[in-house]
Structure 1
Amino acid sequence: MVDEERMRELLASEREDAERLIASLSHGIAEVSEAREGDNSDDEHDPEGSTLAFERSQAATLLEQSRVRLGEIAEAVTRLEEGRFGICVGCGRPIAPARLEIRPYAARCVDCAAGR
């Protein structure tokens, strides 16, 4: 049996973390873009250019992953409200409580997540 109150707390904490990270990454990307605005040097020949391009790319990837995570959290809240939380969407078996403690927005059991 899943402790619904505990899962709500974990999901709220995960949502806050994801929102905070999204805000921080968005701000960081904007700062890097503003710093490069009006600069006509190209990344290929600028000793710092490749580093800036790499950092911008990394931040954009993390931003996208955080947005996906936020969506997964919202879906988990819906499953919780509908009484489907903790049941694997792949096979219909219960998701291990330890997995839900670590990743409360998990929609699949370990076997289904691993593609087994």
Structure 2
Amino acid sequence: MNSARERLAAERRRVLVQLASLTGDYDAVVAASLDTNADDEHDPEGATIAFERSQIGALVRQARLHLAEIDQAQARVDAGTYGVCERCGGQIPEERLLARPIATSCVRCPVSGS
């Protein structure tokens, strides 16, 4: 399982870089909104800034959720249950784990979000 541990660590590093970038983008949008009219309803640029802030906020939440899923997968590696389908108890194919290292189910037992 060392390669699984390495894949998860690499994925975690990638998501942390993505999260740092998104956080910087979010901060930039917030800073830009300070320099504009605060009336989003009547300011044509206000709606754009609000949309961007909302969109980046959603991406930040998604990245944080993915980090939690990576941490859960690392816990499964530590517990010796990584690669075992949480639904049927069968093995999750290596190809699926390579494509989606956080997978909790085999292909026959899809679980929402995995």
What interval of TM-score do these two structures reach, taking the shorter chain for normalisation? 0.7 to 0.9
The aligned counterpart of 1:53 is 50
Identity %: 44
TM superposition score normalised by structure 2: 0.87
Q: Give the alignment partner of residue 39 of structure 1, picking from 36, 40, 44.
A: 36
TM superposition score normalised by structure 1: 0.85
Q: CA RMSD in A?
A: 1.8
Q: Which segments of 5 or more consecutive residues in structure 1 lack a partner in the other structure?
A: none
- Over 4 Å off, 4+ runs: none
The aligned counterpart of 1:112 is 110
Relative contact order, higher structure (CA 8 A, sep 6+) = 1
Q: 1:11: how far off?
A: 0.5
3-state DSSP class of the match of 1:88?
Answer: coil
Do structure 1's residue 87 and structure 2's residue 84 form an aligned pair?
Answer: yes
User: Would you say the 8 A contact 1:91–1:112 is kept in 2?
Assistant: no
User: Would you say the 8 A contact 1:11–1:104 is kept in 2?
Assistant: yes
In 1, distance between residues paired with 2:22 and 2:112? Answer: 29
Amino acid at match of 2:55: Q
User: Would you say the 8 A contact 1:7–1:104 is kept in 2?
Assistant: yes
Q: 1:38: how far off?
A: 5.5
The aligned counterpart of 1:96 is 93
How many matched pairs?
112
The aligned counterpart of 1:7 is 4
Please list the CA deviations of residues 8-51 of structure 1 after superposition, one character each: whole Å capped at 9, or x if unmatched: 12111110111111111111111111221253342222222222
